[in-house]
Amino acid sequence: MTCSAGTMSAARAAASTPARATSLHRAAAARASPAARAPAPAPASTTSHCGLAGARPAPRRAARGGPANAAAVSWDVDVNVDPKGPNTRELFASITIAAPPDLIWDCLTDYENLADFIPSLETNKLMERFPGGCKLYQVGAQDVALGAKFRAKALVECREYPAGLRGDGARLGFPQPRGTVWGRKSSDITFKMIEGDFRVFKGMWNIQNGRMPGTSRLSYAVTVTPQLWLPVALVQGRIAGEIEANLKAVRSHAERLQTVRST
Residue type, 58: A
The topology under which CATH files domain 4-262 is: Alpha-D-Glucose-1,6-Bisphosphate; Chain A, domain 4 (3.30.530)
Question: What are residue 90's DSSP bridge partners?
Answer: 82, 223
- The three-class DSSP label of residue 129 is strand
Q: Could you tell me if residue 230 is left (phi over 0), alpha (psi between -120 and 50 degrees) or otherwise beta?
A: beta
Please report the pLDDT score of residue 192 as a whole number: 95
Please report the pLDDT score of residue 62 as a whole number: 38
**Cα(258)–Cα(100) distance, rounded to whole angstroms?**
8
Domain positions in the chain = 4-262
Please report the pLDDT score of residue 133 as a whole number: 97
In order along the chain (263 residues), what is the average pLDDT of each group of 10 residues? 54 49 40 40 31 34 41 69 92 96 97 92 94 94 59 89 80 84 90 91 95 94 89 84 93 96 89
**Cα separations in angstroms, 34 against 29, 38, 56, 157, 237:** 11, 7, 11, 41, 19
Length of the chain: 263
Please report the pLDDT score of residue 110 as a whole number: 97
Closest-CA residue to 240 (of 98, 118, 57): 57
Question: What are residue 136's DSSP bridge partners?
Answer: 126, 156
